[in-house]
Structure 1
Amino acid sequence: MTKLETITAEDLQNRTYEPTHFLVDELIPEGLHILAGAPKIGKSWLALWLCLCVSQGQPLWGFATTQGEVLYLSLEDSFQRIQTRLFDLTEDAPPTLHFAIMADTLKHGLEQQIEQFLNEHPNTKLVVIDTLQRVRSVGGDSNLYANDYQDIGLLKKLADRRHIAILLIHHLRKLHDDDPMNMISGSTGLSGAADSAFVLQKHSRLAMSLLCIALGATSPTGL
């Protein structure tokens, strides 16, 4: 048995911690985040725009960003498709934005691949995984919540340890729900381990919205 390590409320109040660092001011802090939306709604376009803003230190929707290198694991695309999107968004692509279209899965090498990239590029601030399902192994675990929480927890620990933001691109359920949290595909174990979730919804042919849900200790500003 290991003895519990405790701290008094008084000692805790007198302890000094580093303030939370935001990758995008008031919106995306260091930690693990989920961007969920229906297929073909524009999640990858939004993620790419975020990557460009961070890699160039440009504002996102008027919110200041912390400039740094970015790794985008675009696992459902080809380099040619990514190139086409880049040309649509910018004529001056930065050398600080890196792409990969293949990666290992969680618990089978992905964490080590990301760690290696971070060691080679220590100024990295953001890692995007598009999509989450592409890096999850097909398992027989009957406890869906525990499996979801464990998988996301691995990436959450990595983000916290390396002081970066990790954004997971994910899907929504087909059935509508008044609670946007219930619309994210999978169990509540996914959102339970994340710091925030963003739900991208289309209301009409020309109207879309991005709802930000603060899940962790920090409270991003909703849009």
Structure 2
Amino acid sequence: MDSKETKRTVPVPSVGADGEQPISQTPTASITEETTENNPPEKNYAELLRKMQRMNDPAYLPTISMNELYENVYQSRPPVIDGLLYPGTYLFAGAPKVGKSFLMAQLAYHVSMGLPLWDYPVHKGTVLYLALEDDHRRLQERLYRMFGMDGTNDLLFSICAKQVGSGLEEQLKRFVQEHPDTKLIIIDTLQKIREAGGDKYSYANDYEVVGKLKRLADACGVCLLLVHHTRKQQADDKFDMISGTNGLSGAADGAFLLQKEKRTDDTAILDVVGRDQQDQRLYLTKDKEHLTWTLERMETELWVE
């Protein structure tokens, strides 16, 4: 019997969250394909039954060997904004009236138009913005002030939505099905879509809420930005200022933190952390006429766990 030499290549993940939780594209061989002289159908059928019985055992623990992991082929997910925003679930936190919604509108517009954001290349796609603290009139005024009459059909808004666990997941899945090129979904704010009642502010509940949204974002292959508030109390780690427990940031893929020294300042600092990407600090200035943010300078450092 002739032997065949096989070559195994270990895929090298790209920098960014697109390489963190890829979708396996490994084809599964059928019983017919596995049937050979040394593996008659009866033997394959019996082996299949044994595997099914193991999987139905309540004590069954799914595992994968290192060799099997290397043999799998995984689909990479390109970033939404190179070096800044990737598919996954991110918190975007800041104090009230600091300018979060203006920056969210700017992000949404640039992604929907495919326009570079500051020094970052952008990958064009449909954007859904759940502006749950706004009405249509305020949205119209804000967008006209920021972008004039240059509109787009690829940026869609909703000022009402259901809550997590009560229909929101189904609404977002339906939207992505109807708009398969969706890259970004912004929920402004997280508080508006949280389930009512129960132990609402425990670590377990915070982790569960973001975890549900992360599973949806991963399944749909989109970036989900959750706008949230910060506490007034200062902290050694600035990201500990995000309102709620560490369960929020623990379940998310990363976080953005927008801060000003004074609420009336036209300058702000945007700190960015994420899995498998560089920490960044962006120094921003607000354009007083158009109310958009411009990048003055940027600092980066290698992310270390």
Q: TM-score interval w.r.t. the shorter chain?
A: over 0.9
Q: Distance in 2 between matches of 1:48 and 1:207?
A: 18
Q: Residues 118-157 of structure 1 correspond to what in structure 2 (within 5 A)? A: 118-141=176-199, 144-157=202-215
1:60 deviates by 1.2
SS at match of 1:24: coil
Query: Which of 167, 177, 191 is 2:225 aligned to?
Result: 167
Write the distance in 2 (CA, Å) between the matches of 1:193 and 1:36: 15
Amino acid at match of 1:177: A
1:21 to 72, 78, 84: 78
Q: CA deviation at 1:47?
A: 0.4
Match of 1:52 in 2: 109
Contact 1:34/1:196 (8 A) holds in 2? yes
Residue 62 of structure 1 is aligned with which of 105, 113, 119? 119
Flag the 1:221–1:63 CA change in 2: closer, same or farther, 3 A.
farther
Specify the alignment match of 2:137 in structure 1.
80
Question: How far apart are 1:2 and its partner, in Å?
Answer: 3.8
**Which residue of structure 2 lines up, in the alignment, with residue 179 of structure 1?**
237
- Tell which structure's C-alpha radius of gyration is larger: 2
**Which structure 1 segments of 5+ residues have no match?**
none
- Look up the match of 2:266: 206
- Output one character per residue of 1:103-139: Cα deviation in whole Å (capped at 9) or x when no partner: 1111111111111111111111110000000001222
TM-score by length of 2: 0.70
**Contact 2:77–2:221 (8 Å) recurs in 1:** no
Cα 1:221–1:61 shift into 2, 3 Å: farther
How far apart are residue 181 of structure 1 and its match? 2.0
Name 2:160's counterpart in structure 1: 102
CA offsets 1:183-208 (integer angstroms, 9 cap, x no match): 00001110011001000000242331
| 1:190 counterpart = 2:240 | no
Q: Is the 8 A contact 1:26 1:221 kept in 2?
A: no
Higher mean C-alpha displacement, 16-25 vs 161-170: 16-25
Name the counterpart of 2:175: 117
Whether 1:7 and 2:67 are equivalent positions in the alignment is no
Contact 2:188 2:227 in 1 (8 A): yes
Q: Which letter does structure 2 place at the counterpart of 1:103?
A: A
Aligned residue pairs, count: 221
Match of 1:36 in 2: 93
Q: Which shows bigger deviation, 141-150 or 53-62?
A: 141-150
Larger displacement relative to structure 2 (9-18 or 108-117): 9-18
Partners of 1:152 and 1:190 within 8 A in 2: yes
User: Any idea what the Cα deviations from partners look like across 1:17-64, whole Å, max 9, x if unmatched?
Assistant: 223421010111100011000000000000000000000001112111
Bigger Cα displacement from structure 2, 205-214 vs 72-81: 205-214
Secondary structure class of the residue paired with 2:266: coil
Q: CA deviation at 1:143?
A: 7.0
Shift in Å, 1:210: 0.2
Percent identical among aligned pairs is 44
Ranked by relative contact order (alpha carbons within 8 Å, sequence separation 6 or more), the top structure is 1
Deviation per CA, 1:65-107: give whole Å up to 9, x if none: 1101110000000111111111111120111100000111111
**Greater mean deviation of Cα atoms: 57-66 or 36-45:** 57-66
Range that drifts further, 193-202 or 57-66: 57-66
Alpha-carbon distance between aligned partners in 2 of 1:88 and 1:142, rounded to the nearest angstrom: 37
CA RMSD of aligned residues (A): 1.5
In the TM superposition, residue 174 of structure 1 has moved relative to its aligned partner by 1.2
- Give me the whole-angstrom Cα distance separating, in 1, the residues matched to 2:123 and 2:200: 41
Unaligned runs of 5+ in 2: 1-57, 282-305
Aligned equivalents of 2:185, 2:253: Cα separation in 1: 15
Bigger CA drift: 108-117 or 16-25? 16-25
Q: Which deviates the most, 2-11 or 101-110?
A: 2-11
